[in-house]
Chains A and B, each alone.
Chain A
Amino acid sequence: MQIVPLGDNALVLEMGEAIDESTHRRVQSAWRALAAEPLPGVGELVPAYTTVTLFYDPVRLVQAGAPEAAMVEWLGARVRERLKSPPKVDKVKGRVVDVPVCYGGAFGPDLARVAAQAGLTPEEVVRRHARAAYLVHLVGFAPGFPYLGGLPRELATPRHAKPRMAVPPGSVAIGGSQAGIYPLATPGGWNLIGRTPLRLFRPQEDPPVLLRAGDQVRFRAISPEEFAAQEEAT
């Protein structure tokens, strides 16, 4: 593990160099070990594909005993100590979240494009997309936007050269080899193949998002009628 400063109030813990499940497990393991009992002066922890970033307050670090001229080394040593025997994460299974999706039509204007790219029928694209098991590697870009690993290789589709100005909330999308779901009306260049009636960003709830890093996602095809019914229910 490399520990690299990100400015004067954050350290990046580099846990690997590729997007894969073993790196993901190391990230999750380090994240949980550090979150279990916060280190003095450390605020939030942000997991990503291969890194955990730890934000700290220099004033509070000094109050906790860090030497003023060697805070990074002092905090880095404490991080390494904490991670010597992290809890095993493959035993702490992430949640499995069922995400209903109404594929195609007005909800999935790029389904045909993905199908053409893959040399498959739209129906087959839907079948393969909904059959795969996905892992939330990180949540970022917008509140509650999950970056999902696990997209079947043949469904990978390049992003649009010109992003849409506002992607409808709930849009289920493919960007290159990644899958994701847009929580809010944001600009976006990914291919939209369907829409979920679930709200991904829930500012009045704790946690304020449907999907968290480490969760597993299963997509399930629903009809426009089911979509309408479930959208009202959420």
Chain B
Amino acid sequence: MIAVLKPGLLTTVQDLGRPGYQQYGIVVGGALDAFAARVANSAVGNDEGDALLELAQTGPELRFERDALVAWSGGDFDARVGGQPLPRDRAVRVAAGEVVSFGPARSGLRAWLAVAGGIDVPKVLGSRSTYRRAGIGGHEGRPLRAGDALAVAAPREWSARVLAALAGGGRRAVAWTVRPETMGRVAPAGTVRAMRGPEFAWFTAEAQRTFFSADWEATREADRMGVQLAGPVLARVRTDEMISSSVNAGVVQVPPAGQPIVLLPSRQSVGGYPRLAAVATVDLGRVAQLRPGDRIRFEEITVAAAHALWLARERDLTRVRLGLARIGS
């Protein structure tokens, strides 16, 4: 059991989302950086899709009632266990009664905290992710509050062995790290790779060039559905209203004011604004970490190039998981 002493700004139970129900208007949702969540879960011996906590901006304060193996990935938070720094991207032992706390993010915006065994909440429509608007999934369909108690499922054998080895050696953390941001072929800092979207031709040649060359600033208009960017106005050659159609995480849609919005996994299932571009899935985590005032550029790549990046990152994660399996045996 985990007792929530302080909830943090927006701490939710998430997994890899709720695909399969978009035809009913039900969003996919799930961890905003699904890859970081998979890596954090891998680091504690969980299945990649086990439920974990997503933290935003200011994290929670949690008291663990039993010994636990935890790992967190994502932005740079002041994370502590029993008052000492809680290192990121590695498996860490938390003893029964200890308090884990996450202060404000120093850079980035979100992090994912995995606990061996996974957060034990019921699956709703195939997923444990919190779907706030519908009030389902996660912990009672809502963000955590002070006083909540979270059940943790039984850790797998690998996790129990690692935890026992740490406890036996009087050690806090394992020696190895797994960093989601270093896997695959990483884009330069401040750059997000993106493809042309279905309505790319609706924009003027200048707007097309501008989108892929200007500096874009993240605004305060940002949530789990998307991030509104500010920059030069993107003009259109076709100005009729688009007939609503599917969107996707990473889609860059442009409302009439000409300022782009990058959609995140809790986006709606359909949208009515022209889809100028789509961020490569491997770079979606960078968008999820944008704070108001952060700047990014979009580098144009082809869909085939995005697939190559996707596969390269998956191969790296597969190697990491194989390596971890050997550590525990």
Smallest CB separation, A14 vs chain B (Å): 8
CA distance A102 to B73 in the complex (A): 51
Q: Count the A-B residue pairs with Cβ separation under 8 angstroms: how many? A: 143
Chain B residues closer than 8 Å to A18, beta-carbon distance: 243
Do residues B244 and A138 form an inter-chain contact, with CB atoms below 8 A? Answer: yes
The interface-forming segment of B53-61, B113-121, B160-168, B275-283 is B275-283
Q: Which of B198, B249, B314 neighbours the largest number of chain A CB atoms within 10 Å of its CB? A: B198
Chain A residues closer than 8 Å to B304, beta-carbon distance: 69-72
Do residues A8 and B303 form an inter-chain contact, with CB atoms below 8 A? Answer: yes
CA distance A144 to B303 in the complex (A): 32
Do residues B246 and A6 form an inter-chain contact, with CB atoms below 8 A? Answer: yes
Chain A residues closer than 8 Å to B280, beta-carbon distance: 7-8
Do residues A140 and B251 form an inter-chain contact, with CB atoms below 8 A? Answer: no
Which of B20, B134, B268, B308 is in CB contact (< 8 Å) with A201?
B134
Smallest CB separation, B283 vs chain A (Å): 10
11 residue pairs bridging A and B, Cβ less than 8 Å apart = A6-B275, A7-B251, A46-B23, A49-B243, A49-B244, A70-B304, A71-B304, A139-B24, A140-B268, A141-B268, A143-B25
Chain B residues closer than 8 Å to A70, beta-carbon distance: 304
**CB-CB contacts below 8 Å: B222-272 with A:** 243-251, 268-270
Smallest CB separation, B322 vs chain A (Å): 16
Q: B133 in the interface, Cβ–Cβ < 8 Å?
A: yes
- Consensus secondary structure, chain A interface: mixed
Chain B residue nearest to A53 (CB atoms) is: B246
Chain B residue nearest to A71 (CB atoms) is: B307
* Chain B 135-147: CB-based contact to A (< 8 A → 1; otherwise 0): 1100000000000
> Taking beta carbons and an 8 Å cutoff, which residues of B are in contact with A?
19-26, 124-125, 133-136, 195, 197-198, 243-251, 268-270, 275, 278-281, 303-304, 306-308, 310-311, 314
CA distance A14 to B304 in the complex (A): 21
Do residues B251 and A144 form an inter-chain contact, with CB atoms below 8 A? Answer: no
Q: Given A59-B314, A208-B125, A143 and B246 touching (CB < 8 A)?
A: no
Q: Given A184-B134, A208-B125, A5 and B195 touching (CB < 8 A)?
A: yes
CA distance A42 to B20 in the complex (A): 11
Chain B residue nearest to A12 (CB atoms) is: B198
Do residues A46 and B246 form an inter-chain contact, with CB atoms below 8 A? Answer: yes
Q: A90 in the interface, Cβ–Cβ < 8 Å?
A: no
Do residues A139 and B23 form an inter-chain contact, with CB atoms below 8 A? Answer: yes
Chain B residue nearest to A178 (CB atoms) is: B244
Q: A22 in the interface, Cβ–Cβ < 8 Å?
A: no
Q: Given A143-B25, A144-B24, A212-B23, A7 and B248 touching (CB < 8 A)?
A: yes
**CB-CB contacts below 8 Å: A188-212 with B:** 201, 203, 207-209, 212
CA distance A45 to B134 in the complex (A): 21
Known contacts A5-B303, A55-B248, A71-B303; 5 further A-B pairs (Cβ under 8 A): A6-B251, A12-B198, A18-B243, A44-B20, A208-B24
CA distance A191 to B244 in the complex (A): 19
Smallest CB separation, A218 vs chain B (Å): 21
Chain A residues closer than 8 Å to B268, beta-carbon distance: 140-142
Smallest CB separation, B183 vs chain A (Å): 14
Q: Given A10-B246, A142-B25, A208-B125, A58 and B307 touching (CB < 8 A)?
A: yes
Do residues B133 and A186 form an inter-chain contact, with CB atoms below 8 A? Answer: yes
Do residues A8 and B310 form an inter-chain contact, with CB atoms below 8 A? Answer: yes
Do residues A47 and B195 form an inter-chain contact, with CB atoms below 8 A? Answer: no
Chain A residues closer than 8 Å to B135, beta-carbon distance: 184
Q: Given A43-B20, A140-B25, A10 and B136 touching (CB < 8 A)?
A: no
Q: A62 in the interface, Cβ–Cβ < 8 Å?
A: yes
* Chain A 45-75: CB-based contact to B (< 8 A → 1; otherwise 0): 1111111010100110010000011111000
Q: Given A6-B278, A8-B195, A147-B244, A138 and B270 touching (CB < 8 A)?
A: yes
Q: Given A58-B311, A143-B24, A203-B136, A12 and B19 touching (CB < 8 A)?
A: no
Q: Which 5 A-B pairs have the closest CB atoms?
A: A53-B246, A7-B278, A140-B270, A8-B306, A209-B24
